Chain A
Amino acid sequence: MKIKNYSVLFLLGSLPVASGIAMAENSLSSWSFKGFGTLAATGTDSNKIGFYRDKSQTQDVRSEWGLTSDSRLGLQVDKKFSDSFQATVQWVARDHAGSFAEQNLDWAFLRWRIQDDVNIRLGRLGADAFLLSDYRNVGYAYPWMRPPHEFYSNIPYYHFDGADITKKFSLSEGYLSVKVYGGYSFNQLPTQSGLNNQKSPTTGISLRYENDRWQARLGYNYATVTSEAPIQDLLTAINNPLLAQVYPDLRQLIPAIMMRGKEYHFGSVGVVYDDGVWLTQMEAAYTASNTLWSPTRVTSYLSLGRRFSTVTLYSLLGIAKTFQHNVTIPSPLVASPALLGIQQRLDQALNNNGINEQSVSLGTRWDFHENMALKTQWSHYWLGNNGPQQWQQSSGNITPNNVNVMSVGIDFIF
């Protein structure tokens, strides 16, 4: 974990070298090298619970401020073979569970432009289930410090290996894009039980309309899980016939605890209005699932901002709520520490995945230099008793009702 943090800082330090390369680029070269990044410090006013930007991260931040929550550095190389063929690779150094090299490779695809308005891409692609999905790491492209927490922290899926096809239609002073995609996603995510190597075939469709001032998006995504949660030891214990004698009724929990074969349906709608001065954006999603690892939920946010020359002031409201029925974990016949330990782990795994969160944020973005913006953001979170799933909380602790999260950082592109 330590090494990962150092790698991010090292890469941030090597930026001037990278910019030098970009400057030296031939003006009509078929190669292009570019990048983006954020250097930001984030902290909270509570030590009872830890804040994550999203659930792919290994390190939370508390009242001791940290750089890993929102700092990142992305590098992108494009190679144009002809008017029709182009290859793109994007790699983003950030705190992500699992393989630092592989999980942070967000794009590696070949694009074939069949006609000006039809594109096919093949390879590793950015997951495109929501408005910000495929540029969540590019802070320079949005006003906030990070994508709205209620909406984006629970969908830490950044990429999949597969294909997509997009067709663009000219429509009343704008363009309507219809995209269909499908593939296989491999995501390494931390859970209370250890690293979850989640494999899931995924497919979806999105409609996006964009003109000078408006963007609107409708999306649907379906994913099924083909891997098992990191609970093999629990399953082995439950299936042990000797255990059944002192701890009966556990086997009935097996269908609930299995991750393999479970399904997700994501449906979302989003609208952006930006006239150059006023900026508003909202998104709402319904995520249906039949797994207690990530129960069915509704999430939404609304943001309003106004620009004063190079300074943008913005506000952001967010809400996330899960619908779940907690599973009663039966008690063992004998109150031995080992058996109580199993009971506690089952309870943690099945009944600690809910979220009941609302927040209000105020922030500023100042474009103080070409291709650089300084941001500050204060967010106040109200957390309900439904499980702090989008946060880090040790077992047995009581969720605080209020947490303030503060951050300051610089976004840049080069």
Chain B
Amino acid sequence: MIKKIFTAVFLFLFATTTQAEIIVIGNLKNNLQSLNFIQVEDIFMGRSRSLPNGRIALPIDQATLRPEFYQKLIARPLEQINAYWARIMFTGQASPPTIVADDNAVITIVNENKDAVGYIDRKNLDHRVRILLILN
């Protein structure tokens, strides 16, 4: 039993160390200072694209962080997120976030688009964008 607990704790620690610390980022020129969990979920799931300041958000997905991001955001694996979007986009309700390759591409787009909202691994954060929410 103790051995099992030890293994579980070890696996848990190991798992957390390999995960990224994901931060949601926004554009510096947008006066938006932060978003809460529900707001980020609404924006990325297409339920409401309105930012608290009334502007329309442009959400950006990061290809490699995507599974971890949605697991942390709404505790669902990617295949369920994709099936959800199949229903939403093929009924003409909304379009899923644009997917880009890596953190650098997310930062570039967020830096160039006033209403863009993306997420990256915190270790790649730089001065061109603002942290809106830390997801952990």
Which residues on A are within 8 Å of B, measured CB to CB? 27-28, 32, 34, 36, 74, 76, 78, 80, 83, 88, 90, 107, 109, 111, 116-117, 121, 126, 134-135, 138, 140-142, 168, 170, 173, 175, 210, 212, 276, 310, 367, 370-371, 373, 413
Neighbour of B92 across the interface among A121, A142, A413, CB < 8 A: A121
**B12 interface hit (Cβ, 8 Å):** no
Q: Which residues of B contact A212 (CB under 8 A)?
A: 41, 74
Taken together as a complex, chains A and B put the C-alpha atoms of A121 and B93 apart, in Å, by 10
The 0/1 profile, CB within 8 Å of A marked 1, for residues 58-95 of chain B is 00000000000000001111111011101101111001
Chain B's closest residue to A140 (CB) is B86
Given A36-B90, A76-B90, A141-B87, do A370 and B38 touch, yes or no (CB 8 Å)?
Answer: no
Q: Which residues of B contact A107 (CB under 8 A)?
A: 92
Given A32-B95, A126-B92, do A175 and B47 touch, yes or no (CB 8 Å)?
Answer: yes
Taken together as a complex, chains A and B put the C-alpha atoms of A170 and B77 apart, in Å, by 26
- A and B contact pairs by CB, cutoff 8 A, 13 listed: A27-B105, A27-B109, A88-B92, A116-B50, A116-B56, A140-B83, A141-B83, A141-B84, A170-B48, A175-B48, A212-B74, A370-B82, A413-B86
Neighbour of A276 across the interface among B50, B76, B90, CB < 8 A: B76
Q: Which residues of B contact A170 (CB under 8 A)?
A: 48
**B130 interface hit (Cβ, 8 Å):** no
- Residue among A28, A134, A210 having the largest count of chain B Cβ atoms under 10 Å: A28
Contact yes or no, B89 A34, CB < 8 A: yes
Taken together as a complex, chains A and B put the C-alpha atoms of A68 and B17 apart, in Å, by 50
Q: Which residues of B contact A168 (CB under 8 A)?
A: 48
Q: Which residues of A contact B87 (CB under 8 A)?
A: 135, 138, 141-142
Contact yes or no, A90 B109, CB < 8 A: no
Q: In the complex, which range does the number of interface residues on chain B fall in? A: 20 to 34
Main secondary structure of the interface of A (DSSP, over half): strand
Q: Which residues of B contact A109 (CB under 8 A)?
A: 92
Min C-beta distance of A340 to chain B, whole Å: 50
Taken together as a complex, chains A and B put the C-alpha atoms of A310 and B56 apart, in Å, by 34
Min C-beta distance of A226 to chain B, whole Å: 27
**B100 interface hit (Cβ, 8 Å):** yes
Chain A's closest residue to B83 (CB) is A141
Min C-beta distance of A111 to chain B, whole Å: 7
Q: Which residues of B contact A126 (CB under 8 A)?
A: 91-92
Chain A's closest residue to B51 (CB) is A116
Taken together as a complex, chains A and B put the C-alpha atoms of A173 and B39 apart, in Å, by 11
Contact yes or no, A28 B76, CB < 8 A: no
Q: Which residues of B contact A83 (CB under 8 A)?
A: 56
Chain A's closest residue to B75 (CB) is A276
Min C-beta distance of A85 to chain B, whole Å: 13
Contact yes or no, A135 B90, CB < 8 A: yes
Neighbour of A78 across the interface among B41, B50, B95, B109, CB < 8 A: B95
Taken together as a complex, chains A and B put the C-alpha atoms of A36 and B87 apart, in Å, by 11
Min C-beta distance of B93 to chain A, whole Å: 8
Contact yes or no, B86 A138, CB < 8 A: yes
Q: Which residues of A contact B104 (CB under 8 A)?
A: none
Given A32-B95, A212-B74, A413-B82, do A141 and B90 touch, yes or no (CB 8 Å)?
Answer: yes
Taken together as a complex, chains A and B put the C-alpha atoms of A221 and B131 apart, in Å, by 47
Chain A's closest residue to B78 (CB) is A370
Q: A141-B90, A168-B48 are in contact. List 17 more A-B contacts (CB 8 A).
A: A27-B98, A27-B99, A32-B95, A34-B89, A80-B95, A90-B92, A109-B92, A116-B48, A126-B92, A138-B90, A141-B87, A173-B38, A210-B47, A212-B74, A276-B80, A370-B82, A373-B79
